[in-house]
Amino acid sequence: MRRRSRMRVFLIAGEASGDKLGGALMAGLRTLAPDTGFDGIGGAEMQAAGLVSRFPMDELSVMGIAEVLPKYRHLKRRIAETAAAVAETAPDVLLTIDSPDFCLRVAAAAKARGYTGPVVHYVAPSVWAWRAGRAQKMAKVVDHVLALLPFEPPYMEAAGMSCDFVGHPVVAEERATPEEALAFREAHEIGADVPLVICLPGSRQGEVARLAPRFDEALIRVRDRIPEMRVVIPTVPGVSRMVREMTRRWPTAPVVVEDPAQKRAAFRAADLALAASGTVSLELAANAVPMVIAYDMAPVSRWMIGMLLKTDTVTLVNLVSETRAVPEFLGRKCTPDQIAGALLNLLEYPEGRAAQMAAMSATMQRLGEGGAPPGLRAAHSVLDFLQRRA
């Protein structure tokens, strides 16, 4: 049954992943409350859903101290400008999406300027992994949280915010068909019975520079045992050239793909994956690709994270499925020998693959696969929260 209400929503997204969440949420709100009006900052997905962005979202898509410092004054101006717009327009709800460094500063500044409406934040901070204090800090300006992972609400509620698990966007992402996977193999002359490993050394230049050489060494060891093995590397524009340059030196040239349709087909066609730690493990789970996860960082960062980390695994498939089916090699354990051994075990012994298949299936089910789309669930949560508050 449709809900009918007139509502004004001010949304803020600061990067592509948030823009995608925002677009789906806006579509959900329009389904449930067709007269909803939108204002704020967003990218192409949110603009396609009806938002006229007050300034280009790309101005906010900066990461790391080196990137932020030159733009610090400009970002401060944008924070003040956006907060003033929120206070002036007095929307029924301020809905911030990820990008906490920008979004939560805007929320605090808007309240300081007189905004008295509720604040909803989409994407809970990973306080279950490290820096638990972030939830308490966020609770000073946020009233309600939309969580992507099923175990996150209790952490948010303990800090004083209401919270709903609304499903992870990976369950709604487009996937390639078996026919498209077969066509991918045929296009790259990879036989149906040839082991195909998908290699994912990261989406940032620092990650690729640190991980790709180790991944290469690990794959060489696997290829020594299984000479016919082929490798495909899906990549993104920011590191595509770097990946192509580095892999020119590999003994057997991998297939490097950047086109989204080709990337989907590669995921569906792969038998196994070697991936940097991150949400990519959920993409692999969605496509039922057994995986080995590996990651490392600079020594100082490694030491700091090691001191703060509160879990014995960082792989989301392990956490959501409550198993340790996916082998991971972090920090000093991120070595070619250990990675290669885990890859060979998955290729040669069915027991490990079966355990991962079960864990990946449980993960997708717990993330909301087969239920209402996450954007619609998020919209329901926002409207239910506003009704309770009223």
The residue length of the chain stands at 390
62, part of any domain = yes
- Locate 1 and state its tokens: 């049954």
Q: Is residue 172 part of a domain?
A: no
Strand order in the sheet with 144-147: 37-41, 8-13, 93-97, 119-122, 144-147, 162-165
Distance separating alpha carbons of residues 227 and 229, to the nearest angstrom: 6
Residues 198 and 306 reside in one and the same domain = yes
Are 235 and 122 members of one domain?
no
Q: What is the mean pLDDT of the chain?
A: 91
* Helices 178-187 and 260-269: angle between axes, nearest 10 degrees: 100
**pLDDT above 50 (res 4):** no
More confident residue, 128 or 17: 17
64 and 194 within one domain: no
Give the model's confidence band at 33: pLDDT under 50 very low, under 70 low, under 90 confident, else very high: very high
| Integer angstrom CA distances of residue 184 from 181, 194, 219, 315 | 5, 13, 21, 28
Structural domain contains residue 197 = yes
- Pick from 95-99, 300-304, 378-382: least confident: 300-304
Residue 295 and residue 147 in one domain: no
Side-chain-side CA neighbours of residue 17 (13 Å):
10
Question: Is 78 a domain residue?
Answer: yes
- Segment 152-178 shows an average pLDDT of 96
pLDDT at 178 over 50: yes
Q: At 248, which CATH number?
A: 3.40.50.2000
Task: Answer yes or no: do 200 and 262 share one domain.
Answer: yes
Evaluate whether residue 265 is within a structural domain: yes
Do residues 287 and 303 share a domain? yes
pLDDT for residue 87 is more than 90: yes
Q: Both 334 and 197 in a single domain? A: yes
Q: What is the pTM of this model?
A: 0.88
pLDDT of residue 66: 44
143 shares its domain with 217:
no
Number of other residues whose CB lies within 10 A of the CB of residue 354: 12
Report which of 277, 356, 282 is spatially closest to residue 324, judged by C-alpha positions. 356
Q: Which pLDDT score, from 0 to 100, does residue 239 have?
A: 86
Q: Is residue 3 part of a domain?
A: no
pLDDT digits (tens, 9 = 90+) for 306-329: 666 668 888 999 999 999 999 999
Number of domains in the chain: 2
Answer whether residue 1 is part of any domain.
no
On whether both 286 and 242 belong to a single domain, the answer is yes
**Residue 28 shares a structural domain with residue 114:** yes
Is position 185 within any domain? yes
pLDDT surpasses 80 at 92: yes
Alpha helices (H) along 140-228: 153-158, 178-187, 205-225
Does one domain contain both 38 and 153?
yes
Q: Which of 56-70, 94-108, 207-221, 263-277 has the lowest mean pLDDT?
A: 56-70
pLDDT interval class at 65 (50, 70, 90): very low
- Phi and psi angles of residue 290, each rounded to the nearest 5 degrees, phi first: -55, 150
Residue 342: which domain range? Answer: 178-366
- Among the listed residues 317, 326, 315, 323, the one whose alpha carbon sits nearest the alpha carbon of residue 285: 317
Residues 78 and 154 in one domain: yes
Q: Amino acid identity of 211?
A: L
Residue 260 has pLDDT above 80, yes or no: yes
Task: Compute CA 100 distance to the chain's CA centroid, rounded to the nearest angstrom.
Answer: 15
